Amino acid sequence: MRVGPDLAAAAAAVDLAGAVVDEGVRHLATTGDVEVDQVLAYDLAHSAAAIENARIVLDYGSLGEAEARIACAFVADAVHGVATRTLWREASWGIQPGALDGAAGFVRGYRSPEYLAELCGEQGSRHLDGDFELVQDTFRRFAEDEIRPLAEEIHRRNLDIPERIIRGLAELGTFGVSIPEEHGGFAASGEGEYLAMVVATEELSRGSLGVAGSLITRPEILARALLAGGTEEQKHDWLPLLASGEIMDAIAVTEPDFGSDVAGLRTSARPDGDGWRINGVKTWCTFAARADVLMLLARTDPDRSKGHRGLSLFVVPKQRGKGHGFELIQEEGGKMEGRAIDTIGYRGMHSYEVAFDNWYVPGENLIGGESGQGRGFGLQMQGFENGRLQTAARAVGLMQAAYEAAYDYATNRKLFGQPLLDYQLTQTKLARMAIIIQASRQFAYRVASLMATAPWRTRAAMVKAYVCPAAEWVTREAMQIHGGMGYAEEFPVSRYFVDARVLSIFEGADEILALKVIARHLVANAR
């Protein structure tokens, strides 16, 4: 007998799981310490993200029968995830054993193999309005026609992104989707300011994460920093160039000994006449060779005890380079050297270690001018918050590509005389993949719609914390459905798998987001 959706029961299950998470947060806030009780804080952060996602999916479930069935399946999955984190750790959470027993019947029914198998092939509507459907269609066509035909060769041979891809994206207005119209972009205030970026990013990432899905990220981060703290002259000078794609940028923040601990970085900027001299080394500077400018965070106050309060942000012009290494010499006597870091995936843009030796930067390129000194950490975080949301969109696009590849393979591959798609295990895997993808997409849409509201900025960390590990699972299962051919480089699903691995690392490593952003926010609001 087919089980119909029950959104009232789903809501009750979410409320029960949410109450368990809230109790765990209160327990941590009153008896523990985020820095000491890190496993609990990490589990609470991820559980809170899953429950936030489930609440959003409940709204999605009200839009139709298929949507309701997807919502019930996702809620059951999310509540089950909370239950596995609490099992036999109830004392650490400050809850009673069996605290989630009231949701057991719901989870049992809507996470059952029979229910999931019936959902196989159902992806659900995205429910975008006409303007954003146009954005989706435009970028999907470009990804299909221009990106996918090149993606495998670029990955296998570790090539540079072709200039025609960059030019084509610039002509579509890609780099101006989040830059206000008064500064040469296409963003209007309101919920569409972020949503267009999310929709475009998903479609480009479905084509290829390394070739196109991440090209928006760097101008997005620099633009947000300029909008948050740049002088009017800086906004006038740089934002139209970013929006048109006339200049491309890279982000130079991380250092070899200071990854997520940005406040400890050592790269220095010392005054020199009307400008500054940069000395130090940056790493994981993606797209550094091709970029025309770097958004660079450097220490302008030599007193290291000031931590992040001694950091300032610069726009650093440079010449373009190619391939896996570059060396640049300035007329002013500065030197910049870049060495590509080979990676297992996410190829095309290349990540670099970049060394600066007395590299000269004009004084007017200090973001915020004189008043920008010491504000660099906060300004770069303005961009990174949005980068986290965009990373979630990248993950959704990558998952969608992996799901489509797996579904197609399962449809056409025969095993023991029948299509692989006819087997219950395959059906449940594909159904759960589609459910997680749609839920992740709706989470990203909601956060994008409310991103301008300060309390929702923490949700950007939450959506990344949920969606990026989910992308690893989805791409892994897509690869597994391909069997031995999934491990072969003949099928793009192997690329999806290695590309997904980077998502939980960049734009804020998963552990740092969970402990330093989400858990701290939860505990602060519980007190």
State the Cα angle at 438 between 207 and 509, rounded to 5°: 70
458 band by pLDDT with thresholds 50, 70 and 90: confident
Q: Tell me the residue type at 285.
A: C
Structural contact between residues 136 and 114, judged by C-beta atoms closer than 8 angstroms:
no
Per-residue pLDDT tens over the stretch 327-344 = 999 999 999 999 999 999
CB atoms within 10 A of CB 301: 16
DSSP state of 169: H
189 band by pLDDT with thresholds 50, 70 and 90: low
How far lies 485's CA from each of 372, 397, 423, 480, 481, in Å? 54, 22, 19, 9, 9
DSSP state of 277: E
Mean pLDDT calculated for residue range 156-183: 91
Q: Which helix (H) or strand (E) holds 249?
A: strand 249-252
Percentage with pLDDT > 70 across the chain: 96
Mean pLDDT calculated for residue range 201-209: 95
194 band by pLDDT with thresholds 50, 70 and 90: confident
pLDDT above 90 (res 438): yes
pLDDT score recorded for residue 11: 98
pLDDT score recorded for residue 357: 97
Mean pLDDT calculated for residue range 380-389: 81
Mean pLDDT calculated for residue range 268-273: 94
State the Cα angle at 257 between 41 and 157, rounded to 5°: 95
Per-residue pLDDT tens over the stretch 392-412 = 999 999 999 999 999 999 999
Dihedral angle at the C-alpha atoms of 295, 301, 302, 304, nearest 10 degrees? -90
**Which among 139, 123, 135, 159 has a CA at the least distance from the CA of 207?**
139
507 band by pLDDT with thresholds 50, 70 and 90: confident
Name residue 353's beta-bridge partners: 339
* Three-state secondary structure call for residue 405: helix
CB atoms within 10 A of CB 133: 13
pLDDT above 80 (res 249): yes
pTM, full prediction: 0.94
Per-residue pLDDT tens over the stretch 24-50 = 999 999 998 999 999 999 999 999 999
DSSP state of 159: P
527 band by pLDDT with thresholds 50, 70 and 90: low
For the record, the structure tokens of 445 come out as 């849409």
Percentage with pLDDT > 90 across the chain: 76
Residue 182 CB contacts under 8 Å (≥ 6 apart), including other chains: none
Q: Tell me the residue type at 233.
A: E
CA of residue 47 relative to chain centroid, distance: 18
Q: Which helix (H) or strand (E) holds 341?
A: strand 335-341
pLDDT score recorded for residue 381: 82
Structural contact between residues 177 and 196, judged by C-beta atoms closer than 8 angstroms:
yes
Write b or e for each residue in 506-519: b if 16 or more Cβ atoms lie within 10 A of its Cβ, otherwise e: bbbebbebbbbbbb
pLDDT score recorded for residue 452: 65
pLDDT score recorded for residue 258: 65
What is the phi/psi pair of residue 269, to 5°? -130, 115
What is the average pLDDT score of the chain? 92
Mean pLDDT calculated for residue range 184-207: 85
Domains of the chain: 7-118 (1.20.140.10), 130-244 (1.10.540.10), 249-371 (2.40.110.10), 386-453+468-506 (1.20.140.10)
Structural contact between residues 356 and 278, judged by C-beta atoms closer than 8 angstroms:
yes
262 band by pLDDT with thresholds 50, 70 and 90: low
pLDDT above 80 (res 383): no
For the record, the structure tokens of 286 come out as 């993606």
The rounded distance, in Å, linking the Cα atoms of 246 and 213 is 19
For the record, the structure tokens of 276 come out as 């500054």
493 band by pLDDT with thresholds 50, 70 and 90: very high
Q: Could you give the residue numbers annotated as active site?
A: 507
